[in-house]
Amino acid sequence: MTNRRRLIAPVLRQLAGDPLGLGRAAQSVRSEELTPRTSTADRVVQSVCPYCAVGCGQKVYVKDEQVVQIEGDPDSPISRGRLCPKGAASEKLVNSPMRETKVRYRRPGGTDWEELSLEQATDMIAERMLRTRRDTWEEENEDGQPLKRTLGINFLGGATLDSEENYLIKKLFTALGALSIENQARI
Amino acid sequence: MGSNMAEQHPVGFQWVIEAKERGAKVIHVDPRFTRTSAMADLHVQIRAGSDIAFLGGIVNYIFDRDAWFKEYVQHYTNAPVVINPEFQDAEDIGGFFSGWDPETGAYDIESWGYDESSPEAAAGKAEQQTDVSGEQAHGAHGIKLSGGDPPHVDNSMQHERCVLQILRRHFARYTPELVSELCGCSQEDFLKVAQALCENSGRERTSAIAYAVGWTQHTVGVQNIRTAAIVQLLLGNIGRPGGGILALRGHANIQGSTDIPTLYNILPGYIPMPHPQSGASLEKFIALNGPTTGAWGNLRHYIVSLLKAWWGDAATSENDYCFQYLPRIDGDHSHYAMMLKMLDGGVRGMFCVGQNPAVGSANSKLMRLALAKLEWLVVRDFQPTESGLFWKDSPEHETGEVRAQDIQTEVFFLPAAAHTEKDGNFTNTQRLLQWHHKACDPPGDARSELHWIYHLGRAIRSKLADSEDPRDRPLLDLTWDYPLQGPHGEPDAAAVLQEISGMSADGSFLSSYDELKGDGSTRAGSWIHCGIYKDGVNQSARKRPGQEQNWIAHEWGWSWPKDVRILYNRASADPEGNPWSERKRYVWWDAQDGKWTSLGDSPDFPATKAPDFEPPDDAKALEAISGDKPFIILADGRGWLFAPTGLVDGPLPTHYEPQESPFTNPVYRQQHNPTRQTFSRAENPYHPRGGEQGAEVFPYVLTTYRLTEHHTAGGMSRIVPYLAELQPEFFCEVSPQLAAERGLEHGGWATIVTARQAIEARVLVTERIKPLQIQGRPMHLVGVPYHWGGVGIVTGDSGNELLPLALDNNVHISEYKAATCDIRPGRRPRGPARLELVEQYKQRAGVKT
Amino acid sequence: MKLETHAWPATYGDRAQPRMGFFTDTSVCIGCKACEVACKEWNQIPMSIKGFTGNSYDNTVALGANTWRHVAFVEQTLAADAREGESLVAVAERQAAIDAGVHTYQEGDGLRWLMASDVCKHCTDAACLEVCPTGALFRTEYGTVVVQQDVCNGCGYCVTACPFGVLDQRKDDGRVWKCTLCYDRLKDDQQPACAQACPTNSIQFGELSQLRERAEHRLAALQDAGQRKAQLYLADEQDGVGGAGAFFLLLDEPEVYGLPPDPVDPVRDLSSTWGAAAVATVALGAGLLAAVFGGRR
pLDDT in tens, C130-166: 999 999 999 999 999 999 999 999 999 999 999 999 9
Q: Is residue B804 assigned to a domain?
A: yes
- At C60, the amino acid letter reads T
Average pLDDT for chain C? 85
Would you say residue B119 has pLDDT above 70?
A: no
Asked if A175 has any chain C CB less than 8 Å from its own CB, the reply is no
Are B253 and B427 a contacting pair, CB within 8 Å? Answer: yes
Tell me the chain C residues in contact with residue B741 when contact means C-beta distances shorter than 8 Å.
Answer: 98
Q: Taking the C-alpha atoms of C244, C249, C254 and C259 in order, what is their torsion angle to the nearest 10 degrees? A: -50
CA distance A32 to chain B (A): 29
Would you say residue C20 has pLDDT above 50?
A: yes
How confident is the model at residue B288, as a pLDDT? 87
Give B639's strand partners. Answer: B77
Count Cβ atoms within 10 A of the Cβ of residue B400 and give its class: 0-12 exposed, 13-18 middle, 19 or more buried: exposed
Interface touch B722/C41, C-beta < 8 Å: yes
Would you say residue C289 has pLDDT above 90?
A: no
- At B498, the amino acid letter reads Q
**B408-444 pLDDT per residue, tens:** 999 999 999 999 999 999 999 999 999 999 999 999 9
Q: Helix/strand/coil (H, E, C) string of B262-281?
A: CCCCEECCCEECCCHHHCCC
> Which residue in the set B736, B771, B772 is minimally distant from C89, CB to CB?
B736
A178-183 vs A146-157, strand pairing mode: parallel
Give the C-alpha separation, B601 to B240, whole Å. 12
Tell me the chain B residues in contact with residue A86 when contact means C-beta distances shorter than 8 Å.
Answer: 708-711, 716-717, 720, 723
Give B596's strand partners. Answer: B589
**B818-827 pLDDT per residue, tens:** 999 999 999 9
Distances (CA, A) of B844 to B752, B755, B805, B841: 16, 11, 21, 5
B245-247 vs B490-491, strand pairing mode: unpaired
Number of domains chain B contains = 1
Interface touch A22/C129, C-beta < 8 Å: yes
How confident is the model at residue C96, as a pLDDT? 42
Give the C-alpha separation, B702 to B782, whole Å. 5
B466-483 average pLDDT score: 98
**B231-271 pLDDT per residue, tens:** 999 999 999 999 999 999 999 999 999 999 999 999 999 99
Give the C-alpha separation, B684 to B686, whole Å. 7
| SS3 category, B510 | coil
> Which residue in the set B254, B411, B464 is minimally distant from A184, CB to CB?
B254
Pick the residue from chain C with its C-alpha nearest to A91: C41
Pick the residue from chain A with its C-alpha nearest to B422: A162
B interface mutation test: which of C26, C27, C29, C32 has the most B CBs within 10 A?
C32
Interface touch C41/A3, C-beta < 8 Å: no
Give the C-alpha separation, B447 to A118, whole Å. 10
Asked if A17 has any chain C CB less than 8 Å from its own CB, the reply is yes
Going by C-alpha positions, the residue among B594, B612, B626, B632 that lies closest to residue B238 is: B632
> Which residue in the set A111, A116, A132 is minimally distant from B349, CB to CB?
A132
Asked if B251 has any chain C CB less than 8 Å from its own CB, the reply is no
Asked if C295 has any chain B CB less than 8 Å from its own CB, the reply is no
pLDDT band at B120 (very low <50, low <70, confident <90, very high): very low
B190-209 average pLDDT score: 97
Interface touch A162/B410, C-beta < 8 Å: no
**B346-379 pLDDT per residue, tens:** 999 999 999 999 999 999 999 999 999 999 999 9
Q: Please count the other Cβ atoms lying within 10 Å of the Cβ belonging to residue B470.
A: 10
Q: Is residue B329 assigned to a domain?
A: no
> Which residue in the set B42, B721, B725 is minimally distant from C59, CB to CB?
B725
How confident is the model at residue B435, as a pLDDT? 98
Interface touch B347/A154, C-beta < 8 Å: yes
Distances (CA, A) of B70 to B73, B156, B235, B575, B586: 5, 10, 9, 12, 20
How confident is the model at residue B97, as a pLDDT? 98
How confident is the model at residue B683, as a pLDDT? 97
Would you say residue C294 has pLDDT above 60?
A: no
Would you say residue C279 has pLDDT above 90?
A: no
C275-288 average pLDDT score: 45
B735-753 average pLDDT score: 97
CA distance B402 to chain C (A): 31
Q: Percent of chain B at pLDDT above 70? A: 97
Going by C-alpha positions, the residue among B424, B557, B414 that lies closest to residue B490 is: B424
CA distance A45 to chain B (A): 6
Pick the residue from chain B with its C-alpha nearest to C45: B722
Residue contacts between A and B (CB atoms, under 8 Å): 493
Average pLDDT for chain A? 92
Are B385 and B393 a contacting pair, CB within 8 Å? Answer: no
Pick the residue from chain C with its C-alpha nearest to A87: C34
How confident is the model at residue A20, as a pLDDT? 85
Category of C33 on φ-ψ map: left (φ > 0), alpha (ψ -120 to 50) or beta:
left
Going by C-alpha positions, the residue among B185, B187, B176, B192 that lies closest to residue B41 is: B192
How confident is the model at residue C90, as a pLDDT? 59
Q: Percent of chain A at pLDDT above 90? A: 88
Are A106 and B372 a contacting pair, CB within 8 Å? Answer: no
Interface touch A20/C280, C-beta < 8 Å: yes
Going by C-alpha positions, the residue among A164, A75, A64, A80 that lies closest to residue B439 is: A64
Q: Worst-scoring range by mean pLDDT, B54-58, B112-116, B163-167?
A: B112-116
B655-662 average pLDDT score: 98
Asked if C111 has any chain B CB less than 8 Å from its own CB, the reply is yes
Interface touch A146/B409, C-beta < 8 Å: no
CATH code for the domain in which residue B683 is found: 2.40.40.20
**B13-53 pLDDT per residue, tens:** 999 999 999 999 999 999 999 999 999 999 999 999 999 99
- At B380, the amino acid letter reads R
Are B335 and B812 a contacting pair, CB within 8 Å? Answer: yes
Compute φ and ψ for A166, nearest 5 degrees: -60, -40
Count Cβ atoms within 10 A of the Cβ of residue B767 and give its class: 0-12 exposed, 13-18 middle, 19 or more buried: buried
**B496-537 pLDDT per residue, tens:** 999 999 999 999 999 999 999 999 999 999 999 999 999 999
| SS3 category, A120 | helix
C70-96 average pLDDT score: 66
Q: Which residues 6+ apart lie within 8 Å of C258 measured at CB?
A: C62, C72, C118
Distances (CA, A) of B68 to B199, B204, B581: 11, 14, 17
> Which residue in the set C34, C113, C199 is minimally distant from B768, CB to CB?
C113
Would you say residue C192 has pLDDT above 70?
A: yes
A33-57 average pLDDT score: 97
- Give the domain ranges of chain A: 2-33, 37-94, 136-186
B730-742 average pLDDT score: 97
Would you say residue B453 has pLDDT above 80?
A: yes
Asked if A62 has any chain C CB less than 8 Å from its own CB, the reply is no
How confident is the model at residue B108, as a pLDDT? 92
The predicted model scores a pTM of 0.94
What number of helices (H) and strands (E) belong to chain C? 8, 10
Would you say residue C1 has pLDDT above 80?
A: no
Would you say residue B752 has pLDDT above 80?
A: yes
Interface touch A57/B422, C-beta < 8 Å: no
How confident is the model at residue B144, as a pLDDT? 77
Tell me the chain C residues in contact with residue A17 when contact means C-beta distances shorter than 8 Å.
Answer: 10-11, 13
Distances (CA, A) of B207 to B193, B196, B244, B553: 12, 9, 7, 21
Would you say residue C296 has pLDDT above 50?
A: no
Average pLDDT for chain B? 95
Interface touch B736/C199, C-beta < 8 Å: no
Would you say residue C58 has pLDDT above 90?
A: yes
Interface touch A163/B253, C-beta < 8 Å: yes
Per CATH, domain A37-94 is 2.20.25.90:
yes
CA distance B426 to chain A (A): 6
B554-579 average pLDDT score: 98
Distances (CA, A) of B759 to B609, B755, B799: 60, 11, 8
How confident is the model at residue C108, as a pLDDT? 38
Q: How many CA atoms lie less than 13 Å away from B758 in the CB half-sphere?
A: 26
How confident is the model at residue B117, as a pLDDT? 80
Strand locations in chain A (E): 43-48, 57-63, 66-72, 104-106, 114-115, 137-140, 146-157, 178-183
Going by C-alpha positions, the residue among B246, B230, B167, B242 that lies closest to residue B203 is: B242
Going by C-alpha positions, the residue among C112, C25, C199 that lies closest to residue B40 is: C112
How confident is the model at residue A11, as a pLDDT? 53
> Which residue in the set C54, C60, C99 is minimally distant from B726, CB to CB?
C60
Tell me the chain A residues in contact with residue C151 when contact means C-beta distances shorter than 8 Å.
Answer: 6, 26, 28
Would you say residue C287 has pLDDT above 80?
A: no
Give the C-alpha separation, A70 to A47, whole Å. 9
Tell me the chain C residues in contact with residue A8 when contact means C-beta distances shorter than 8 Å.
Answer: none
Asked if A57 has any chain C CB less than 8 Å from its own CB, the reply is no
How confident is the model at residue B759, as a pLDDT? 98
Q: Please count the other Cβ atoms lying within 10 Å of the Cβ belonging to residue C61.
A: 14
Q: Which residue would you say has higher pLDDT here, C270 or A62? A: A62
Q: Percent of chain B at pLDDT above 90? A: 94
**Which range of residues forms the domain containing residue B757?**
677-845
Would you say residue C99 has pLDDT above 60?
A: no
| SS3 category, C110 | coil
pLDDT band at B123 (very low <50, low <70, confident <90, very high): very low
How confident is the model at residue C226, as a pLDDT? 84
Pick the residue from chain C with its C-alpha nearest to B42: C106
Pick the residue from chain C with its C-alpha nearest to A16: C11
Distances (CA, A) of B840 to B172, B836, C105: 45, 6, 38
pLDDT band at C78 (very low <50, low <70, confident <90, very high): low
How confident is the model at residue C297, as a pLDDT? 36
Give the C-alpha separation, B354 to B388, whole Å. 11
Are C2 and C237 a contacting pair, CB within 8 Å? Answer: yes
Asked if B707 has any chain C CB less than 8 Å from its own CB, the reply is yes
Q: Is residue B696 assigned to a domain?
A: yes
For the structural domain made of C10-294, what CATH number should be given? 3.30.70.20
